[in-house]
Amino acid sequence: MLKKLTVTTLLAVSTNLMAMNYTPQTRSNNDNGTCNIALFNNNISKSSITLLNMSESLLTMSQLLLASQQNGITVNKDYVRAMLRLSDDIGTMADRIGTMADRIGTMADRILETQRIQSKNLALTQKNIIAAQKNLLAILHK
């Protein structure tokens, strides 16, 4: 009876702690409505780490349950169901993080394309300024 109580208590406390530790990260917008990419990336990193920690805790709890059951200890099936729901929630969060990462990839691609265009324009601007300076110097030397 003591072993059953210990396993049940461990599962209840661990499940509740895991649920309380999850806080969804939201995007933050600056004044003109565009997403702050650095903050967005930071939130994704935090969410990813939280997700990893929760999945590791879930794995540990499931291993404890399996070991307990193999040692003849009765496992409360309500906690097993709660762990399965939590596992499903973790999967949903992983999907959302994947979607956010895809969006960041798209934004990064757009930023790189903008930089390519601006670099070409800058090179042409520099070329024009140098040519104009040469022309003006030629005028001064005549």
Q: pLDDT truncated to tens, each residue of the chain (142 aa)?
A: 444 444 444 455 455 444 444 444 444 444 444 455 666 666 667 777 877 888 888 788 888 888 888 888 787 888 888 888 888 888 888 888 889 888 988 998 999 999 988 898 888 899 999 999 999 898 888 7
Domain extent at residue 70: 2-140
**Secondary structure class of 72 (helix, strand, coil):** coil
Q: Please give the backbone phi and psi of residue 34, each rounded to the nearest 5 degrees, phi first.
A: -85, 150
Q: What pLDDT score was predicted for residue 2?
A: 41
Query: 45-48 long-range contacts, Cβ below 8 Å, gap at least 24?
Result: 47/93, 47/97, 48/97
Q: Running DSSP on this structure, what letter comes out for residue 29?
A: B
Q: What is the pLDDT of residue 5?
A: 43
Beta carbons of 25 and 60 less than 8 angstroms apart: no
Q: Domain total for the chain?
A: 1
Residue with tokens 């903008």: 114
Is this prediction's pTM over 0.85? no
Any idea what the Cα angle at residue 88 is, between residues 86 and 91, rounded to 5°?
110
> What whole-number distance in Å separates Cα of residue 11 and Cα of residue 6?
9
Beta bridge partners of 35: 29
The CB density around residue 56, as the number of other CB atoms within 10 Å, is 10
pLDDT at 29: 47
